[in-house]
Amino acid sequence: MSSARRTVSLITLGCARNEVDSEELAARLDAAGWRLGDDDPDVVVVNTCGFIDSAKKDSIDTLLAAADTGAKVVAAGCLAERYGEQLAEALPEAAVISFDDYTEIGERLDDVLAGKALKPHSPRDRRTLLPITPVARAAAASGAHIPGHGAPSDENRADQNRADQSLPDGVAPASGPRTLRKRLSGGPVASMKLASGCDRRCTFCAIPAFRGSYVSRPPEDLLAEARWLAGQGVTELVLVSENSTSYGKDLGDLRALEKLLPRIAATEGIERVRVNYLQPAELRPGLLDVIAGTEGVAPYFDLSFQHASGPLLRRMRRFGDPERFLDLLARIRERAPEAGVRSNFIVGFPGESRHDFDTLVGFLEEARLDVIGVFGYSDEEGTEAFSFDGKLDQDVIDERVAELSELAEELTSQRAEERIGTDIAVLIEEDLGDGGYEGRAAHQGPEVDGSVTVRGIGLVPGQIVQAVAVDSEGADLIARIKAGP
């Protein structure tokens, strides 16, 4: 079949981690001779999300819609990894692949296009693929593919080794570690994966079972990718993982992230670095200080609180209570008064009493968070909470979600109003026309945290401008550019 007919469209659902995985797939497909494009593709690959019920439904709806176009359809990503054979049986419209197929994704798609049936995998707990002890994982990780880590295929690695052997002793290849990634969208912001997997055992979460144990990427690989992304026009890097505060524990250095952040921030072309997915229980004072006080690192704290009631958090197998969380917020704001703080909260977890819920409400009223995400609990098979007693009726969960969402909207609007009159550094992301530009301040993460609208002349996406917040609309700010000296 001619190369003109081998066209693939990649659709990414879910979180920023999935976006990084898709860009690895894009690089592999490009190397295998596939052309990426959305116009009349031969194959549509849907990188699915399988975290909660609504995400699963969205993934299945997207797969069915792709099949309706007449293209061959492949289900990849978390939903596919988590359910394997079960998904293939329930959805014959799509071929189902595992993370382990990613290194040979070009061949898998060749088979699909040729009408060959792919044998779907039997789901397994991917934590069993690596040693329990974190520091023993580095040597074993090559035996299990970890999406988004950019490891070359065995063949490419062998080619690299042969090329390296031709260099004089002590001279590294000029390109450094390879970056196996192809950007699927432009713009000045890109996510970069610090690590994959999770070693925590939260009773509501199935992610560790299908994403596997925690594995950090080597610092030099991350620095090489940061340089590559800067060369692609990226100005802001967003560091993502399932748990960024664990970075380095499998490398034998719990302070690895504290050391890495200043180095990434010093990368030529990178103006801002932010870290997502911080665990409050693991936010060490040294890391807090680095995030709050390092030039080029956004004083931004994406904290995974999940709830505020101490007893309920213990039932979730989580850390904290209102006093501890408020103390952490006070320490953050002592070091960086204008720091941005966001968090998500689960409502209706089994056993949640009205008192537990009211404790959460009281905490939020004191916390002054910039962004509050509210999610209703849903049972997830394979989790400890699936078998818990004390399940709440769905109408009770829905009522509490609605109540807390309304409060969250009010509180985040108030927090934005508090920022009126303050200086903000705005990363310009889009020219709106007629002299208007949309961007984000340091306290706003991409896509989910609100934005800033400024007016100016000749501004360029990727540029950071100094501005003053003059008004707010919900969580969004309106700003004017500060006059020069």
**Is 37 annotated among the ligand-binding residues?**
no
Report yes or no: 109 and 175 within 8 Å, Cβ to Cβ.
no
Residue 194 and residue 244 in contact, taking contact as beta carbons nearer than 8 Å: yes
DSSP code, position 115? T
Radius of gyration of the chain (CA): 23
The response to whether 202 counts as a known ligand-binding position is: yes
Q: Are 277 and 304 in contact (CB under 8 A)?
A: yes
For 299, phi then psi, to 5°, come to -75, 80
What tokens does 328 get? Answer: 């952490």
User: Any known ligand binding at 204?
Assistant: no
303 DSSP assignment: B
User: From CA 207, how far away is CA 212, in angstroms rounded?
Assistant: 8
Does 109 belong to an annotated binding site? no
Calpha distance 111→193 (Å, rounded)? 30
Binding site annotation covers 75? no
Question: What are the DSSP calls for 151-216, one per residue?
Answer: PPPHHHHHHHHHHHHTSPTT---TT-S------SS-SSEEEEE-EE------TT--HHHHH-S-EE
Q: Check the annotation: does 78 bind a ligand.
A: yes
3-state helix, strand, coil in the chain (%, to 5): 40, 20, 40
Which residues define the annotated binding site? Answer: 15, 49, 78, 198, 202, 205
Binding residues for [4Fe-4S] cluster: 15, 49, 78, 198, 202, 205
